Chain A
């Protein structure tokens, strides 16, 4: 018999506990999986505050989060499709580290990264795709090999399974057992969750299990696979969260200057990361005017869906 929610042990812990427990030094972390929305910045900043070292970061197009972790000296290796600042271009910490060869880089496309995670999610050693043939991704990514299709004889790219130690996923709402609702574009979130050994959910809102089970199609991954649930309001700022807040373009544009030199980045880290200890501190730093400016001005509520019998 399955346990009633009342008897199930809560997985809700603080952000610092979650990062301390599930992201040890040297672990492989997949994050930023929805691409430009729902980026778990609060969790990334906690990793910088805890001075994590030798992490492997896995993600499709990291919109400044990976650059910040590289600047915080948390990273040994990156397995990603794109690392930079979507609205301005280059990520300067990443660029410096790559040019000084202080980090190792495995160059993916968004599709090869998705396929690597899907292979792990499916419990197989690789997935085939037709992308990247003839490209130099093969020169800087040992997870790609060409193969001959056993049915058609066509040449295919085989992408080796990518199995992260932990996925960090930001969501709109979760119950305290890790059953979480996400809406909006999903990126590679579902395969990232299924492929990972453990999952940390950071949520704008913690809600009752009744809210979640009223709409099971919206659940991003089953709660039994989740290790920790963290209440993290504004935890994806400055990226947008559908239903919660808009993208803070100014913060991304300002980060370009803030990361241009190691000195400027150290100053940015001291103010925006090290001086912040929880979401209250972060909200105070943002200020009411800014959060008000990013709030939704126009609501579109979906039609009710009947899951009854």
Chain B
């Protein structure tokens, strides 16, 4: 893919889309991989006053002084705003003081429930995945969360095999009914487009197509009859300035290479 002047990769497009989900001044629970780069990009462009919370016990309001690959890399601790206990940061989340978080997944369903634990039957699993980490907490307690994942038919299923991180359960009203205090997924950024949730039914809808992707291609890679928003938009390509930033944050292309 290319802008007028420069080539970009699919991860570049997804990171840029993730950054645009962050508003200035928000408190963001920052996840690994693309979300971390998305947070750095937002901080360096339209959201300079966003604050980053990292579950291992870091709060920082600046981008790490050197490129990092994982959130525990020492540059991410250096001159942090606060180094603390995981439970302190989970407390911020549980009180409702975190605006948004980002999580990845292996399997998602039409109501945004996410599975990173078992594919197949629990008693006789086909695949065992790493598990929740903090993802269940972010999905349960944040004001909203954004899901980032590959858009394949075997991953976009009518009903996940295991709810690791709760979305809207079986539809409107479910979160309140099970006792969750707030929140739910606001967007799913995939390798093919961006999906959002109908405010009335809580069902996932296609909202934006990435450059070069067709509606049919998205439908063919979704395991239920996906609704398409009336006003379908086209995901904007990253701007030159954004690409320059991303090359600085991930100079070797470990996360954003082709």
Residues of A within 8 A of B (CB): 34-37, 60-61, 80-84, 86-87, 89-91, 94-95, 98-99, 105, 107-112, 114-115, 118, 129-137, 139-140, 146, 154-156, 183-191, 239-240, 242, 246-247, 249, 296, 298, 300
Q: Are B83 and A184 in contact (CB under 8 A)?
A: yes
B20 contacts partner chain A, Cβ-Cβ < 8 Å: no
On whether A240 and B129 interact (CB within 8 A), knowing A132-B136, A185-B57, the answer reads no
B223 contacts partner chain A, Cβ-Cβ < 8 Å: no
Nearest A residue to B80 by beta-carbon distance? A185
A90–B131 Cα distance when bound, in Å, is: 10
B48 contacts partner chain A, Cβ-Cβ < 8 Å: no
Shortest beta-carbon distance from B181 to chain A in Å: 5
A133–B174 Cα distance when bound, in Å, is: 11
Q: Are A191 and B77 in contact (CB under 8 A)?
A: no
B135 contacts partner chain A, Cβ-Cβ < 8 Å: yes
A75–B117 Cα distance when bound, in Å, is: 19
Q: Are A240 and B74 in contact (CB under 8 A)?
A: yes
On whether A137 and B164 interact (CB within 8 A), knowing A35-B86, A99-B125, A249-B69, the answer reads yes
Known: A82-B132, A111-B87, A135-B140. 18 other contacts (CB 8 A): A37-B77, A81-B131, A83-B130, A95-B127, A110-B55, A111-B136, A132-B140, A133-B140, A134-B179, A135-B164, A135-B166, A136-B163, A156-B179, A188-B86, A240-B72, A242-B77, A247-B74, A249-B70
Counting chain A CB atoms within 10 Å of each CB, the highest count among B70, B73, B87, B94 belongs to B87
Listed by A's residue number, 13 A-B pairs whose Cβ atoms lie within 8 Å are A35-B55, A80-B131, A95-B127, A110-B55, A111-B87, A114-B85, A130-B180, A133-B180, A134-B179, A136-B164, A183-B83, A185-B83, A188-B87
B57 contacts across to A, CB distance below 8 A: 34-35, 185-187
Contact mask B55-83 → A, CB, 8 Å, 1/0?
A: 11110000000000111111001110001
A91–B179 Cα distance when bound, in Å, is: 33
B11 contacts partner chain A, Cβ-Cβ < 8 Å: no
Give the contacting residue for B32; candidates A80, A86, A190; CB below 8 A: A86
Nearest A residue to B55 by beta-carbon distance? A110
A114 contacts across to B, CB distance below 8 A: 85-87, 90
B220 contacts across to A, CB distance below 8 A: none
Q: Are A133 and B132 in contact (CB under 8 A)?
A: no
B178 contacts partner chain A, Cβ-Cβ < 8 Å: yes
On whether A186 and B83 interact (CB within 8 A), knowing A84-B130, A130-B140, the answer reads yes
A156 contacts across to B, CB distance below 8 A: 179
A89–B104 Cα distance when bound, in Å, is: 11
Nearest A residue to B160 by beta-carbon distance? A136
Nearest A residue to B123 by beta-carbon distance? A101
A137–B77 Cα distance when bound, in Å, is: 31
Q: Are B179 and A34 in contact (CB under 8 A)?
A: no
On whether A131 and B140 interact (CB within 8 A), knowing A82-B132, A183-B83, A300-B78, the answer reads yes
Counting chain A CB atoms within 10 Å of each CB, the highest count among B55, B69, B122, B136 belongs to B136
A86 contacts across to B, CB distance below 8 A: 32, 70
Q: Are B83 and A99 in contact (CB under 8 A)?
A: no
Give the contacting residue for A135; candidates B32, B78, B127, B163; CB below 8 A: B163
Docked complex: B117-142 residues within 8 A CB-CB of A: 117-118, 122, 125-137, 140-141
A81 contacts across to B, CB distance below 8 A: 131-134
A133 contacts across to B, CB distance below 8 A: 140, 166, 178-180
Contact mask B81-105 → A, CB, 8 Å, 1/0?
A: 0011111001000100000000000
Q: Are B74 and A36 in contact (CB under 8 A)?
A: no
Shortest beta-carbon distance from A294 to chain B in Å: 10
Closest 10 CB pairs of A and B: A155-B179, A36-B72, A185-B57, A134-B178, A84-B130, A98-B128, A82-B133, A35-B56, A109-B136, A111-B137
Q: Are B128 and A247 in contact (CB under 8 A)?
A: no
Q: Are B70 and A155 in contact (CB under 8 A)?
A: no
Shortest beta-carbon distance from B114 to chain A in Å: 10
Shortest beta-carbon distance from B86 to chain A in Å: 5
Shortest beta-carbon distance from B113 to chain A in Å: 9
